[in-house]
Amino acid sequence: MTPLILNSMEDNCNPAAAHLVVSLKEYARNLYETRQLLCSEAVLVALNKGLNGGLTEEQAVAMAAPFCVAMGDSGCLCGALSGAVLGAGLFIGNSRPYSHRREMRKSGLALHNAFKAANGATCCRVLSRKVKHDKKAHFKQCAGLTADATEMAALLILDKRPELLQAFDSPVTLKKHGRLGGMMAYLSRWF
Range 73-86 average pLDDT: 94
Range 156-177 average pLDDT: 74
* Residue 7 vs residues 4, 88, 108, 118: alpha-carbon distances, Å: 5, 17, 17, 11
> What average pLDDT is seen over the chain?
87
Residue type, position 126, single letter: V
Non-local (6+) Cβ contacts of 184 within 8 A are 177
Residue type, position 169, single letter: D
- What's the rounded Cα separation, in Å, for the pair 44 and 64? 7
Best CA proximity match to 156, nearest among 62, 85, 78: 85
Burial 44-75 (b: 16+ CB within 10 A, else e): bbbbbbbbebebeeeebbebbbebbbbbeeee
- What's the rounded Cα separation, in Å, for the pair 46 and 99? 26
Categorize the per-residue pLDDT at 169 as very low, low, confident or very high, splitting at 50, 70 and 90: very low
Looking at per-residue pLDDT, the higher value among 180 and 33 belongs to 33
Q: What is the pLDDT of residue 14?
A: 85
Range 148-177 average pLDDT: 81
Percent of the chain's residues with pLDDT above 90: 68
Asked if 153 and 111 touch (Cβ cutoff 8 Å), the reply is yes
pTM equals: 0.86
Which domain does 75 fall in, by range? 4-188
DSSP designation for 78: -
Q: What is the pLDDT of residue 13?
A: 66
Q: What is the pLDDT of residue 187?
A: 65
Asked if 20 and 158 touch (Cβ cutoff 8 Å), the reply is yes
Q: How many domains does the chain have?
A: 1
Tally of residues, the chain: 191
Alpha carbon 18 to its chain's center: 15
